[in-house]
Amino acid sequence: MKLISHAQTRLRSFSLSLLLWTTVHAALAQTDANERRFRSGARLIQQKEYVKAKAELAPLTQLRSGGVVPFAYYYHALADFNLKQFSEARMMLRQLMDRFPNWKMMDDAHYLMGAAYFEGGQYEEGAQSLNRIGDSALKTEAGKLETLHYSRITDLNRLKQMQKEFPDNRNLALALIGLIQRTSTATADLELSDRLSNRFGVPPVTRPVTTEPTASTSTTSKPEKNRNKGYYNVAVLFPFRVNEIDPGATGRSNQYALDLYNGMKLAKSKLQSEGITVNLFAYDVDNDASKMTALVNNPAFVQNDLLIGPLYAEPNRIATEFANKNNILLVNPISTSSELVANQPQAFLAAPSLNQQALKTAAFARTLSTVRKAAIYFGNTRKDSTLAALYQNEMKRLGFAVMDFRKIGPDPEVIRVTETSKPGHIFLVSSDDKAGPKLLRLLAQRKVAVPVIATSSAFDFVKEPLSTFSKSDLYLVYPEFVDQQRPQATEFEEQYLEQRNLIPSTYAYQGYDMLLFFGRALARTRGELTNRSQLRAEPEDGYLLSGYDYTASNENQVVPIIKFDGTRFVLAN
């Protein structure tokens, strides 16, 4: 087997250049027979005839002295390595080091020894071998080799133990930070990740933030943002509440935040497969403005390319000011309030705002009937009444008459529509999942046959039989709609189930799509969002939800409206 990645390139180039050097100098110190044998062995390695090469080189290693002998050992070890005989390669290199401790190419021997240890899974010994390298150029190559192999370690405990043994190894520390971010929510692990991040100069992973801002930190000049680093840092500012996490608990108050973040982890892997490297850094930011202030006053925080969150108003205000000042994208993953992004050029809503839901639903309603009259009903929550009012305003702006506008409780009998006095369509906004079926039954009793548009939250999709949705002119405004028939959705669910032992929630889908979309946007614009026309998802892009469109504003203009086609739910708009 040839050396992979950097090791392969390094050892191959060394082998080719070494042949001429050894040919000249061997002629001065060896008999013609030994010289010919060495040249034959070196040539066979070039031809990838490793077994034959070893047969030529082995007798040379038995010579008592001579300039060709250490090279014979090295070439023999190189042949062993390419044959996957890693223990044999190490044995030949140890003999070389014992017999010729002052060999001028000893750094290359240490490099090959480290590679052989790594390939055999002996990471500690490999690190020790690479530490012995003195040549600065070869040290750089050794660092690349370490990064490659450390990234393959999936045993968190082993990686932590190795980091204790080699506390000054930056490549090892970065690998440990990455593995903790991907696999662990344990408080001790997260604190370790914080310490390592602070020490080795990567953006700190603060969970939770406890440092209060001081006069000195608030006036510290921030480093200039590096836009050409080849990767993108994403700060996830969620109420993780790590001090409350109990791995065995269910129904945790922060479960939605964990689900969003776990979805992002899968998107990170997807982006990597597309050649886009994203580093996720999770910060435990609850409803505490001081924590967010401490973060934005940390000079390293400016190296983030995207902020996701915070989810509470005051921390979000502080983060938004920071994002605008430093030209960093900020996305709120779940809010439907237009106020969060109004006059904020760097702030975006991942979910369609209530305002966009009203606008897009009204535009859709115009296509359903020529009767320009509407009845609007809403439930008890503030979100219900707000969306209903926005819809009413848009209907009036479009020239519709709103013949009935009222709150309906458990009993929808109060509605005024009848068979003889009916609108062109009805719009129901309710967070009560019993409201939808009740309204449909009442309309059937009164023989009111008009299109009904309702929010998906007005129905319980688990408990209600499919016959509830069989009304041909029933449409549902469903921002979180996932078409489970799409292969991307099936693949995501299988991966999530395999990694988390849980069926993904709506939040997991949202986290995946959000990071996938904005990660691609960062890569496309190299971290500089200057052309809004590109901020739109196309159907073939493979998103799980219905997509994104920011070409007109910082609010997502994609509002899915679905209907039941007799076998499954499909998009109607």
pLDDT digits (tens, 9 = 90+) for 1-53: 333 333 344 443 333 334 333 433 443 344 567 778 888 888 898 888 999 99
**262 has pLDDT over 60:** yes
On whether both 140 and 254 belong to a single domain, the answer is no
What average pLDDT is seen over the chain?
84
On whether both 300 and 398 belong to a single domain, the answer is no
Quote the CA–CA distance of 406 and 468 in Å, as a whole number.
24
Higher pLDDT, 515 or 154: 515
The per-residue pLDDT for 298 is 87
- Using CA atoms, how far residue 156 sits from 151, 161, 281, 432, 495, in Å, is 11, 9, 18, 45, 21
The identity of residue 31, as a single letter, is T
Average pLDDT over residues 512-517: 96
User: 38 with 22: CB under 8 angstroms?
Assistant: yes
> End-to-end alpha-carbon separation of the chain, Å?
55
Residue 573 lies in a domain: no
Average pLDDT over residues 183-196: 76
Residue 454 lies in a domain: yes
Place of tokens 């109420």: 239
Residue 194 lies in a domain: no
The per-residue pLDDT for 226 is 53
Average pLDDT over residues 124-136: 91
pLDDT tens per residue across span 307-345:
999 999 999 999 999 999 999 999 999 999 999 999 999
Of 328, 349, 370, at which residue does a domain stop?
Answer: 349
CATH of the domain at 339: 3.40.50.2300
Residue 444 lies in a domain: yes
On whether both 369 and 262 belong to a single domain, the answer is no
**544 has pLDDT over 80:** yes
363-367, 424-428, 485-489: least confidently modelled range: 485-489
Residue 193 lies in a domain: no
Residue 107 lies in a domain: yes
CATH of the domain at 134: 1.25.40.10
How many helices (H) and strands (E) would you count in the chain? Answer: 20, 12
The per-residue pLDDT for 227 is 54
Which two structure tokens, joined as six digits, stand for 13?
């180039």
- Length of the chain in terms of residues written: 573
On whether both 145 and 57 belong to a single domain, the answer is yes
The per-residue pLDDT for 229 is 60
Place of tokens 């205000």: 317
On whether both 23 and 118 belong to a single domain, the answer is yes
Percent of the chain with pLDDT over 70: 86
Higher pLDDT, 331 or 230: 331
On whether both 48 and 140 belong to a single domain, the answer is yes
The per-residue pLDDT for 535 is 87
The per-residue pLDDT for 199 is 77
Average pLDDT over residues 109-115: 94
Nearest to 306 by CA among 91, 521, 79, 465: 521
On whether both 261 and 396 belong to a single domain, the answer is no
On whether both 445 and 318 belong to a single domain, the answer is no
The per-residue pLDDT for 564 is 95
Average pLDDT over residues 123-141: 90
Res. 213 pLDDT band, cuts 50 70 90: very low
pLDDT tens per residue across span 415-465:
989 988 999 999 999 999 999 999 999 999 999 999 999 999 999 998 999
CB atoms within 10 A of CB 467: 8
On whether both 76 and 129 belong to a single domain, the answer is yes
The per-residue pLDDT for 28 is 36
Query: What domain range includes position 285?
Result: 203-212+227-349
The per-residue pLDDT for 5 is 34
The identity of residue 100, as a single letter, is F
On whether both 308 and 361 belong to a single domain, the answer is no
**299 has pLDDT over 90:** no
Give the 3-state secondary structure percentages of the chain, helix then strand then coil, rounded to 5. 55, 10, 35
On whether both 409 and 302 belong to a single domain, the answer is no
Of 477, 511, 539, at which residue does a domain stop?
Answer: 477
Residue 507 lies in a domain: no
Residue 278 lies in a domain: yes
On whether both 362 and 341 belong to a single domain, the answer is no
User: 338 with 359: CB under 8 angstroms?
Assistant: no
Which two structure tokens, joined as six digits, stand for 102?
């002052």
Average pLDDT over residues 234-262: 75
User: 374 with 423: CB under 8 angstroms?
Assistant: yes
**408 has pLDDT over 50:** yes
Q: pTM of the predicted model, to two decimals?
A: 0.63
- How many domains, the chain? 3
Of 331, 349, 367, at which residue does a domain stop?
Answer: 349
